[in-house]
Amino acid sequence: MTELNAYGQTLGKELPDWQPRALPQKIILRGKYCYLEPIDVKHSRDLFDAWHSIDDERDWTYFHIKRPVTIKQCDYYIASLAASKDPLFYAVINISTGKAVGFLALQRMDPDNGSVEIGWINWSPLMKRTFCSTEAIFLLLYYTLETLQYRRCGWKCDSLHEAAISAAERLGFTYEGTLRQTQVSKGHSRDVRWYSIIDSEWDGIRQAMELWLSPSNLDERRKQKHRLAEFMPHL
């Protein structure tokens, strides 16, 4: 509901009880199939091996750098991520193997306004189309929107990155628009698509993701009986 001030001008919803939120911290976030922990150079060997489990760099086309060529180069790169405060990086650990299979980050952290963004999503071939890929995003959404009570969690991606676009829409993020020619990446112009989940949408999305990740949604082959879209609310 909109409101009018004394001059008859329209204002957004009043938030009389709003208080700035806490900053996300370097903590472990545990799930059923994976857990997130602050990235560290100890994850470098796992990630290097996972990234090189295929012979080409197709997974790095829309990423800001090329795949590390040597383990020394990978160590340096992971150490630089570990030293960053914003973005705040987490390694994704597959519980069944105990190995790091990808990473992602919270960035543009704005506790005064309760806004944060999930970014730097880097899934290795060992993580794609697994429970871990969905649950890793769920763990960050739960941490920011549920535990820390942020008002908004954003997601942006290259406007031509079809896999990222499909993932954002599958996970319940709402498309907000495209910013044109915002970046130059690896010598190419990049338009950026923006998505978000806000606090009023979170309960329905949370329930949908919990149902999809539940063991009750698995058949005897450990395949999902229902697609995530079947659980999602119509927002």
Which contiguous run of DSSP H or E holds residue 103? strand 99-110
pLDDT of residue 130: 87
According to DSSP H, which parts of the chain are helical? 44-51, 71-82, 131-141, 162-170, 199-213, 228-231
pLDDT of residue 43: 98
pLDDT of residue 3: 87
pLDDT of residue 2: 75
- CB atoms < 10 A from the CB of 214, how many? 12
The residue-averaged pLDDT of 27-40 equals: 98
The residue-averaged pLDDT of 25-39 equals: 97
Show the domains of the chain with their CATH numbers: 22-230 (3.40.630.30)
Question: Token pair for residue 43?
Answer: 């994850």
pLDDT of residue 72: 97
Instruction: Output the CA torsion 22→27→33→39 (10° steps).
Output: 120
pLDDT of residue 1: 66
Residues 173-188: tens digit of each pLDDT: 999 999 999 999 999 9
